[in-house]
Amino acid sequence: MDRTDTCKAALAAAALFCATPAAAQATSADGRGHALILVPLELTKIDDLDFGTIVAGSTPGTVIIPANGSARSTTGGVTPLPSDVGFRARFATAATRGQEVLFLLTPPATLDDGNGNSITVDAMTMDGPNLRYADLTTGIIFVGVGGIISVAADQPDGVYEGTFNLYAEYR
């Protein structure tokens, strides 16, 4: 083999080496799929919020129903009648056990008697935090709702009503 043949052989070998694709590297890893299936939330009203029966006086006052279920109180010129002491609203939520549920309360601005008279709703509160966990055994969450209303001096008599909303969603 002469020098020309040696160069041709070397060039052919180099071309073959460069034209050969590199061996492909492959790897794999396992992943997992995950889905959490929850029971549909079911919010049920047990009791409406009831401020009880009161007598309006010549000075304004307030009526307070605590969300925790303790006794009603009044201030100012409001006289509470002991025959109708009122009570907090109560709700129960059926949820997946141990799951976190967010509660949002939307109070009305007023309670109205249907004859153009109204009572201001100063506040409405729940008996605990907005975020709660469903009971690990039953899946139930109880929520109490209380409120404060302002009664004007010489407020006209009547039944005053309004609607509030308690909203629940999984977190």
CATH number of the domain where residue 150 is located: 2.60.40
Q: Is residue 75 part of a domain?
A: yes
Q: Is residue 124 part of a domain?
A: yes
Domains in the chain, number: 1
Q: Measured between alpha carbons, how far is 114 from 6 in angstroms, rounded to an integer?
A: 111
Across the range 36-53, mean pLDDT stands at 94
Q: Is residue 23 part of a domain?
A: no
Q: Is residue 131 part of a domain?
A: yes
pLDDT at residue 25, rounded to an integer: 86
Rounded to the nearest angstrom, the gap between the alpha carbon of residue 110 and the centroid of all alpha carbons in its chain is: 23
Spatial CB neighbours of 115, under 8 Å, sequence gap ≥ 6: 156, 158
Q: Is residue 2 part of a domain?
A: no
Q: Is residue 28 part of a domain?
A: no
Q: Is residue 32 part of a domain?
A: no
The strand pairing partners of 131, in sequence order, are 102
Q: Measured between alpha carbons, how far is 44 from 92 in angstroms, rounded to an integer?
A: 5
pLDDT at residue 14, rounded to an integer: 54
Across the range 124-134, mean pLDDT stands at 97
Domain that holds residue 82: 38-170
- The dihedrals phi and psi of 34, each to the nearest 5 degrees, come to -145, 135
- pLDDT confidence of 168, banded at 50, 70, 90? very high
Across the range 118-144, mean pLDDT stands at 97
Q: Measured between alpha carbons, how far is 127 from 156 in angstroms, rounded to an integer?
A: 31
Q: Is residue 157 part of a domain?
A: yes
- pLDDT confidence of 16, banded at 50, 70, 90? low
69-114 tens-digit pLDDT: 999 999 999 999 999 999 999 999 999 999 999 999 999 999 999 9
Residue whose token pair is 């039953």: 138
pLDDT at residue 43, rounded to an integer: 95
Angle value at C-alpha 52, between 90 and 124, nearest 5 degrees: 50
Q: Measured between alpha carbons, how far is 69 from 65 in angstroms, rounded to an integer?
A: 8
